[in-house]
Structure 1
Amino acid sequence: MKATRTGPHEYAANYLYNEKGLAPFFACDSRVKDGGGSVVGEFRDDGERYVARLSYKDSNLVHPGGATPAGTEFRIETIREYELKVARHPEEDPVGEQDFYSLLSPRWPGMKGEKNNGEVKEIPVPEEFGEGVNVRIQGSNIEFERYERLLRLAFDAVGVHAGYFSELHPSSNIQDAERYVRVHTDESGPVHSRTGPITSLGHLLEHDRQGRRKLDQRDDDLHGRNRPGFYHTATLDSRRIREAWPHHELPKEVKHYYAKEWKRPKSHPLAHPKVGASYQVSYWDETLYVSDLDRLNEELEETVRSVLMEAGIDIAPLRGNGPYVPDAYWEPTVEENVERVTELDLTQIRHEQESVVIRYLADGGFSPVEWESLQTLVADGGVVSPQDIAEEHGRHVDSVRRALRRIDELVEREYGKVGLRSDYIAELVHDAVVDAQEKVRTAMSTGAKAVEAAKRGLGETMARWVAWCERYGVDISNRLNALEIDLGELDPHRDPDPSYLVRLGLQVWTDAGQDPARYRSARIRYNGRVVPAFKLL
């Protein structure tokens, strides 16, 4: 299939090199000293001009003495770290945002760093890494796979041999990465709307309590100016990602956002928002290695395309740029032979979660302890334990645990904590709890009115008629001997069928000693309709 190719935005990684030991660190020290504190160079790559500047910054690394623990002679008096700033030549990048910053630091087993408070802490070095360097990279608007090559060329341009950086160590890892498209502001609304994919992903798939809640919806910019969709994101961990993309693994943030300088004419790219997906390193305990770069690109691209498709935005326009707006670093192009774009079936996920709640309600409802547990989970906004629930309702904690096990499709239990499985389930359960509470109030009101009717001298059967009307919220009007029965607004999914109510009403009316013919000739009102009673009997 065909699909619009996304563009690279932010990128951060740790590139580790140990093939030449500490030689690249010593080479940087020598070049900076020779250059009086900094060295500038230029180079070309793929027809593009770049400027590189090598300088230094103070570090908190503890000096190893005359030699490292591995025996490497160490003659440098003051340990510094070396900054390499690389940017597209300003004549080719007037915007000035196609660049990256890198920080080269030495690494050896057992090395230590000193905190601001004087505490000394060991700096972790990958197992069997030995001695080498770590180059921390942060950049933007450059294809991710180009950073390694650009880094070599940049060091070479400032006089540090490119051969020091010829082979990445397998422990080199990615910390941040985002791919995006820029969508016309008149077309992007469905992405961030209340029923759009970002809201639905956060609403349906984010756990009710576990971890940080990450559905962020801000419609005002930093100056308080209203811009619908200014910053809308949904962040999902690895497990939740697989509920929407079963073959994905990486935790991600799905984004719709405007630049701070969005208030521009529509002819300017920054007047239009980005729709993107970014890797979230803080949402899992595993490591994304640079060797997995292809998988990262594929997952981010598919995520963006799926979100666009779910929002009804054409992912492969036939003519021109379609709904997309080119900017300084991204030109909309349609890619051929795209292997896969997953269609987000958020409606199916919603139906699955609805069916779980409905099934519990249909199978005889919930036990008292289950109801109490759900009421607490719905009402509470923090961390809840079975013990908390037991104490709140005067139950034994074992009874609460058994109840939670019986409703395990609605709740998740982990490390003594319990929460509802999703925000959407929380809403459904909340509605059920409120509905149950309303029925209790209705029942109490019904009983009271029946007692009142009996006290007024009405017979027991007439009291039943009053109770029936109260139970189902039925209003009765008698005008010139014409009977009108108003059933109100009936929900086809939750309320009894109008025919059932009318037949039940006839039985209670007749038992109360009233004329059935009068009932059959009554007018029945419901959902804005008026129907003769006999048509529903």
Structure 2
Amino acid sequence: MTEPEDFFDQLDDAEAVTADDPDSVQSSVEQSEADRIRSERQTISQTPTRSQRRSYLAPKYVARCRFCRCKFSDIDVAHHHQGRCKAEPVAQCLHCEEEIQSQESSEEHLKSCDAYHSAIQEEAEQEDSSATETEGEDSESFSRLFIDPQPHEFHGYLKWDCADRENPLRSYFGLNSLQKEHDFEKHGPLRTGVNIGGDEWTVQFRFKESGIAARDSPNFELDEVREYLIYVYPSAYSSWDDAKSEARKRAYFLISPRWPDIETKEGLRSMSNPCGIEGYDVEVEGSNWDFEQYPRVLQQALGALADRQGFRFDSHTPINPGDFDSDRIHHSSNIVDAELFVRILKALSGRVIAYDGTLTRISMLLAGDREGYVKSVRDDRECPGHYHTTTIDSRRAAELIGGHSLAKEFKHYHMRNPDAVEGTELENPKIGVSLQNSINDGTVYWDDLDTLTRELDEALLNVLEWSGISTDPTEGAYVADDYFEVAGSRRWRKLVSGSLPRTESKQDDQIFAIASQMNTTDTELVETLLTDGGKISPSELAESIGVHLDTIYRALKRLGPLVDHSYGEVQLGSKYIAQELTGYIDSVSQSIQAGWESALDSLTRAESYADDDPWCRWLDRYGGKISRTEGADPDDLDIGFNPSTLREARQLLREGARRWAEVTGEPLRQFGFKFAPAITTVDGKRYAPRNFAAALGTPG
């Protein structure tokens, strides 16, 4: 659509007016137009200033009308003239072909032109479609290509509530019917085959005692309630155990019936059915299937078993795989284990398993001694890096990667017998991340599967990133095997670049800055935490060190970044901090000792006191801080402890003077010339006697 040409599009082609002579045509047209517009707009006239009068005599025109050639110096006037110029030729609407007398008329016409509005609507729809396609392309271009991990172990409890069906337990009765058709004593477990995803699989069927009491219902005619076991494994293997021993793709299902008010046999622990479902509780275990595939694998296995019914009995109860549709999974279904892994070149794994590698740093940097749960395992008996893990709970998961909430185990591991696969792709290790349900905060439901998969994927990609291993599948870091394919996809994932190095650097800076400022109380506090190896209360610290509780609180405030102090318990912030502080303590203690000797003007301490110096212990106990002054003035002595009254403050300073005199051998009164003490009471009164020597007695 071509819009009516705007009048001011012609400004570039307008004839500039530079002469001062009045233009007769312009004067007659513009002045009358201007007077009328000002009248319509009720413009308030003002007496023109001298400069304004001069501008009226020599106007500067901005444009000339391309129809009547009228010149304008006022923008508002020009706009008004634009839609009313009688010299403008008649135009025609491009949409409905109706004649239009002027540009102003064209604007009014377009408001009511149906053909115009139809064209606008069609154009908008085309733009929306184009925008959607562009958005998709942008998402694809801005997302990043990542290696696709392989699902490994899985364990969950899936439930189906079939109470809305005429016979909710019909498939359970069908499995019972199949059990009775097969002679297990003579032939062993029932085996059949099924094709899943183009591959041939063995389906093995067994049963076992359940401990569930028979249901008291006229429709439940079974005297014994059994649970049914279904195994799915590659048909090339003779048994489930053989397939499992070689870490092959497999699935296992234990089907147990459920109904409201279910009970166990006498003497057995009672069982729960909190949601009161009437249907099935299926324990699911497997490896190497996509997590969401397990319900479908169960259905296909049940279908294969249903095909084996009717060979012995003419009348049997059929198994109905449709009872286990994925869209009917009950919301209480939950997941207790799931793992994603990649297989990397053995030469690249050192950065993951080294003593200062990624797994160790995750444990050291995020693990408080007894805060939450952290566990590290290093087993190199079979080969270097044979089985290394670091496990963190939900709290630490959130600290490691923002937004995460699931407890996880980070793994680096080789095959069970690494020598047997030397020279093959299986000699290269796996790096995996799995859910640790036993220490997770809350239940992970089947409905949370997308969240679970995203967290495991992000955690795995971050471990690779922190270890300097490319997350791009095209850069040669990965090795394919029977299940893990070196392939990638573009997706949005959160990578916390350099998270662990930044954390380490931050903690190093904190340790260095604070350790260099420690006093004796600080070092003894840290030594106590290192020796205890865990949490201790502030009061226990005060008693252990032999200082006042207020002194401990001030020390904790100084040591804040290095210690966790909450709910009346104190511990070092992380294992890494503990490890690094161990190397600082001796040197810090020596520096403090040298500092006190300098503050005491190198006076010789009584040999009988050795390391048990009453003066230093008094300073530590009450938070005394000495500041050297210039010249012969006494050194400032500031006491951190806040006594209740001025009387207690005086008593406290006298005690300090006695301890100083006891160590230095100097007269008690000399303390008042050596130090200018100051102390603040609880109510904020500051006691700083000008001549403290007089308060300590007369000379001699």
TM-score (norm. length: structure 1): 0.73
**How far apart are residue 141 of structure 1 and its match?**
1.2
| 1:74 correspondence with 2:223 | no
Structure 1 pair 283–354 and aligned structure 2 pair: CA distance change class (3 A): same
- Which of 303, 308, 312 aligns to 2:464? It is 308
- Which of 190, 200, 208 aligns to 2:361? It is 200
**How far apart are residue 112 of structure 1 and its match?**
4.2
- Which of 218, 229, 232 aligns to 2:388? It is 232
**How far apart are residue 360 of structure 1 and its match?**
3.7
| 1:377 correspondence with 2:529 | yes
| 1:296 correspondence with 2:452 | yes
Aligned to 2:204: 53
**How far apart are residue 327 of structure 1 and its match?**
1.6
Aligned to 2:504: 350
Tell whether the 8 Å contact from 1:307 to 1:344 is kept in structure 2 after alignment.
no
| Aligned mates of 1:286, 1:33 — CA distance in 2 | 41
Aligned to 1:149: 296
Code of the residue aligned with 2:417 in structure 1: it is E
Write out aligned runs for 1:211-250 (5 A).
211-221=372-382, 227-250=383-406
Tell whether the 8 Å contact from 2:365 to 2:503 is kept in structure 1 after alignment.
yes
**How far apart are residue 314 of structure 1 and its match?**
2.2
Q: Give 3-state SS (helix, strand or coil) of 2:374's partner.
A: coil
Provide Cα deviations, 1:442-461, integer angstroms capped at 9, x if missing partner.
Answer: 6799999x789xxxxxxxxx
| Aligned mates of 2:411, 2:510 — CA distance in 1 | 30
| Aligned mates of 1:192, 1:208 — CA distance in 2 | 22
- Which of 248, 255, 258 aligns to 1:104? It is 255
| Aligned mates of 1:384, 1:254 — CA distance in 2 | 30
| Aligned mates of 2:171, 2:354 — CA distance in 1 | 51
Q: Give 3-state SS (helix, strand or coil) of 2:233's partner.
A: strand
| 1:365 correspondence with 2:518 | yes
**How far apart are residue 89 of structure 1 and its match?**
2.4
| Aligned mates of 1:312, 1:299 — CA distance in 2 | 20
| Aligned mates of 2:180, 2:296 — CA distance in 1 | 25
**How far apart are residue 200 of structure 1 and its match?**
1.1
**How far apart are residue 350 of structure 1 and its match?**
1.4
- Which of 467, 479, 486 aligns to 1:332? It is 486
**How far apart are residue 366 of structure 1 and its match?**
5.3
Tell whether the 8 Å contact from 1:90 to 1:96 is kept in structure 2 after alignment.
no
**How far apart are residue 31 of structure 1 and its match?**
1.8
Structure 1 pair 344–24 and aligned structure 2 pair: CA distance change class (3 A): farther
**How far apart are residue 56 of structure 1 and its match?**
0.6
Write out aligned runs for 1:389-428 (5 A).
389-394=541-546, 400=552, 404=556, 407-413=559-565, 417-428=569-580
| Aligned mates of 1:411, 1:109 — CA distance in 2 | 52
| Aligned mates of 1:229, 1:354 — CA distance in 2 | 28
Q: How many residues align?
A: 436
Structure 1 pair 22–366 and aligned structure 2 pair: CA distance change class (3 A): farther
For the pair shown, the structure with the greater C-alpha radius of gyration is 2
Q: Give 3-state SS (helix, strand or coil) of 1:229's partner.
A: coil
TM-score (norm. length: structure 2): 0.57
| Aligned mates of 1:264, 1:389 — CA distance in 2 | 55
Code of the residue aligned with 2:236 in structure 1: it is P
Bigger mean CA deviation after superposition, 254-263 or 22-31 = 22-31
| Aligned mates of 2:421, 2:169 — CA distance in 1 | 52
Structure 1 pair 80–43 and aligned structure 2 pair: CA distance change class (3 A): same
Question: Percent identity of the aligned residues?
Answer: 31
Residue ranges of structure 1 left out of the alignment (5+ in a row)? 222-226, 453-537
- Which of 66, 83, 90 aligns to 2:229? It is 83
Q: Give 3-state SS (helix, strand or coil) of 2:220's partner.
A: coil
Code of the residue aligned with 1:423 in structure 2: it is K
Tell whether the 8 Å contact from 2:145 to 2:491 is kept in structure 1 after alignment.
yes
Q: Give 3-state SS (helix, strand or coil) of 2:385's partner.
A: strand
Q: Give 3-state SS (helix, strand or coil) of 1:327's partner.
A: coil
- Which of 331, 334, 338 aligns to 1:177? It is 338
Aligned to 1:164: 323
Tell whether the 8 Å contact from 1:88 to 1:98 is kept in structure 2 after alignment.
yes
| Aligned mates of 2:257, 2:557 — CA distance in 1 | 53
Higher strand share: 1
Q: Give 3-state SS (helix, strand or coil) of 1:249's partner.
A: coil
| Aligned mates of 2:223, 2:519 — CA distance in 1 | 73
Aligned to 2:46: none
Structure 1 pair 164–415 and aligned structure 2 pair: CA distance change class (3 A): farther
Provide Cα deviations, 1:33-63, integer angstroms capped at 9, x if missing partner.
Answer: 22234543322232222221221112233x1
Aligned to 1:121: 269
**How far apart are residue 150 of structure 1 and its match?**
0.6
**How far apart are residue 173 of structure 1 and its match?**
0.8
Tell whether the 8 Å contact from 1:306 to 1:344 is kept in structure 2 after alignment.
no
- Which of 15, 25, 42 aligns to 2:172? It is 25
Q: Give 3-state SS (helix, strand or coil) of 1:215's partner.
A: strand
Code of the residue aligned with 2:270 in structure 1: it is E
| Aligned mates of 1:41, 1:398 — CA distance in 2 | 76
Structure 1 pair 137–397 and aligned structure 2 pair: CA distance change class (3 A): farther
| 1:209 correspondence with 2:370 | yes
Bigger mean CA deviation after superposition, 436-445 or 337-346 = 436-445
Residue ranges of structure 2 left out of the alignment (5+ in a row)? 1-143, 307-318, 605-700
**How far apart are residue 247 of structure 1 and its match?**
2.6
| Aligned mates of 1:193, 1:217 — CA distance in 2 | 10
**How far apart are residue 182 of structure 1 and its match?**
1.0
| Aligned mates of 1:136, 1:235 — CA distance in 2 | 25
Tell whether the 8 Å contact from 1:264 to 1:270 is kept in structure 2 after alignment.
no
| Aligned mates of 1:332, 1:13 — CA distance in 2 | 27
